[in-house]
Structure 1
Amino acid sequence: MSSIADSVADQFPDGAFGIVGDTIGFTVDELTGDSMRARWNVVPAVHQPHGILHGGIHAWIHETVASVAATVWFGDQGYVVGVSNQTDFFRAVSDGEMTTTGTPLHRGRSQQVWVVETRDAGDRLIARGQVRLQNMAARGSNA
């Protein structure tokens, strides 16, 4: 449907992803309606009490990646909202740079499903999620 042709960095000014994004240095490297890739860092501020990355951060990242890319694909038809977010954790991490990629599994008239994976610098799978999104018609639209 649509894609972002301008520089990806220009699309997301500082603060665009809130305090979580700022804390982990969330940076979008690639974005189209067909995929998204972002980098971010595991830092102590997002650890759980045992000194490893909190699983809720993975869920936040997975939903963010899926939602942003799904919104690009949906274009000016409206916006998307999360319906479910299921994330599996494979490796505990306490520091380092992560790369998260999202690709569509299904894109329909009313819903989309995206698969999102997070890998470490050694390309090891850290977490994998599936996010279901509801396509919402633009306000004032009869669609």
Structure 2
Amino acid sequence: MSTDSSLDESAPAFPDGAFGLVGEAIGLTVDELTGDVMRVRWHVVPAVHQPHGILHGGIHAWIHETVASVAASTWFGDQGQVVGVSNQTDFFRAVRDGELTSVGTPLHRGRSQQVWVVETRDAADRLIARGQVRLQNLAGRG
């Protein structure tokens, strides 16, 4: 997992392995992170295929939850923690390989909850999957 220089100065730094084995397997790269957007690139590899040789839908849900949670936490800052309470993902195109980009943006940010939408697109800018993640703001925790 790597990052580049377009990250918000207040955004957390991610040590190697911060996104676990899945993040390492797909080569997750954070290209942009602020309290208003998170953009990541990643690769479809055989290790994350389902038995029919296409990307497993659970990886989409994982990416959507990860992007929404990290971005929401960046926005919430030192007020406390943010935890996911609902993740709904729709799949539009099957993918066997290649690089994908996932971008998360807020739909709602309130005192107690946030809702983020994450869209995943391929190199031709075709919508592959879309997720909506609802998160609970836990003020004073951390």
TM-score norm. by structure 2 comes to 0.92
Counterpart CA distance in 2 for 1:93 and 1:57 is 12
Counterpart CA distance in 2 for 1:11 and 1:50 is 37
Counterpart CA distance in 1 for 2:141 and 2:13 is 23
> Paired residue for 2:102?
100
> Paired residue for 2:116?
114
- Which secondary structure state, in structure 1, belongs to the residue aligned with residue 85 of structure 2? strand
In structure 2, the gaps of 5 or more residues are: 1-6
CA contact (8 A) 2:81 2:141 kept: no
TM-score norm. by structure 1 comes to 0.91
> Paired residue for 1:125?
127
Counterpart pick for 1:51 among 37, 47, 53 = 53
> Paired residue for 2:9?
5
Write out per-residue CA displacement over residues 44-89 of structure 1, whole angstroms, 9 at most, x where no aligned residue: 0000000000000000000000000000000000010000000000
- Which secondary structure state, in structure 2, belongs to the residue aligned with residue 11 of structure 1? coil
> Paired residue for 2:42?
40
CA contact (8 A) 2:79 2:141 kept: no
CA contact (8 A) 1:4 1:72 kept: no
Alignment size in residue pairs? 136
Counterpart CA distance in 2 for 1:68 and 1:138 is 18
Which 4+ runs in 1 deviate beyond 2 A? none
CA RMSD of aligned residues (A): 1.6
Measure how far apart 1:4 and its partner are: 2.8
Counterpart pick for 1:76 among 69, 75, 78 = 78
Measure how far apart 1:99 and its partner are: 0.2
- Which secondary structure state, in structure 1, belongs to the residue aligned with residue 76 of structure 2? helix
Which amino acid counterpart does residue 8 of structure 2 have in structure 1? I
Counterpart CA distance in 2 for 1:74 and 1:81 is 11
In structure 1, the gaps of 5 or more residues are: none
Matched-pair identity in %? 82
